[in-house]
């Protein structure tokens, strides 16, 4: 994963939230095992990411976007719920 440099002192409430959240996401992505692949996908019509290990989706992260702003992030790791994603992905 490429190194991403973020500002040390964000300004404004939304900038502070975006700064904190980007730090959080960078930390999470560093914990993805080396053998996994990350794929961009559309999940329920929204942009998202699939974590694929050994040809099967093991996690899905979907962004809830309203009026151009991220209002929520949904992370699914339940294998029963991911079965539909695996079927759609052809795994």
DSSP string, 23-65: HHHHHHHTTS-TT-EEEEEEETTEEEEEEEETTEEEEEEEEEE
Closest CA to 79 of 60, 63, 54: 60
Token pair belonging to 41: 């996908």
Residues 4-55: tens digit of each pLDDT: 555 555 556 656 666 676 777 777 777 777 888 888 888 888 888 888 888 8
- Tell the residue number behind the tokens 């794929």, with chain if given: 39
Residues 56-81: tens digit of each pLDDT: 898 888 888 888 777 888 888 898 98
Q: Is this structure's pTM higher than 0.95?
A: no
């Amino acid at each position: 994963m490429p190194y991403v440099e973020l500002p040390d002192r964000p300004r404004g409430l939304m900038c502070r939230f975006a700064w904190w959240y980007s730090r959080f996401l960078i930390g999470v992505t560093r914990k993805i095992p080396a053998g996994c692949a990350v794929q961009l996908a559309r999940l329920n019509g929204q942009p998202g990411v699939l974590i694929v290990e050994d040809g099967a989706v093991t996690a899905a992260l979907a962004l809830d976007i309203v009026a151009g702003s991220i209002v929520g992030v949904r992370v699914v790791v339940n294998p029963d719920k991911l079965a539909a994603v695996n079927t759609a992905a052809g795994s």
